[in-house]
Amino acid sequence: MTETQFGAIVFLLAGAVLVAAGVPLLLGRVRPNPWYGCRSERTLSDEALWYRANRALGRGLVIVGAVGSIAATLIYFLLAGTANDVWVIALLVWFVGGVLFAARLGWSQR
């Protein structure tokens, strides 16, 4: 397995994990709990706020994960055989920045 293949697989899986984590939040299927979701004293004490904040967080995670997975796949096929330092850094920035942005979306609902 080449470094390019490995990088593409890692980012494809990272995107899939974000989508899988975001969908239940987006659909409002996660009840208030201390482990998963946008948790704070306010969201845990106000059920309507919990669902609103977690829908926003879930939407952000799904978008970041889907776009990141698509980008990783396209980059792999378009740049196969080229040096992967630049696109690995770009995807890493996308995922880290995107998760932080999604978290901000959830927290902004408070």
List pLDDT tens digits, range 13-61: 999 999 999 999 999 999 999 999 999 999 999 999 999 999 999 999 9
pLDDT score of 82 more than 70: no
Domain that residue 51 falls in:
3-108
Which of 10, 39, 36 is closest to 24 using CA atoms? 36
Task: Domain count for the chain, please give it.
Answer: 1
Residue 36 identity: Y
pTM above 0.85, yes or no: yes
Give the phi and the psi of residue 107 in degrees, each rounded to 5: -70, -30
pLDDT score of 81 more than 70: no
Report d(CA 13, CA 95) in Å as an integer.
Answer: 12
Q: How many CB atoms lie within 10 A of CB 4?
A: 18
Report d(CA 1, CA 5) in Å as an integer.
Answer: 6
pLDDT score of 98 more than 80: yes
At 100 the pLDDT is: 96
Average pLDDT across the chain, whole number: 91
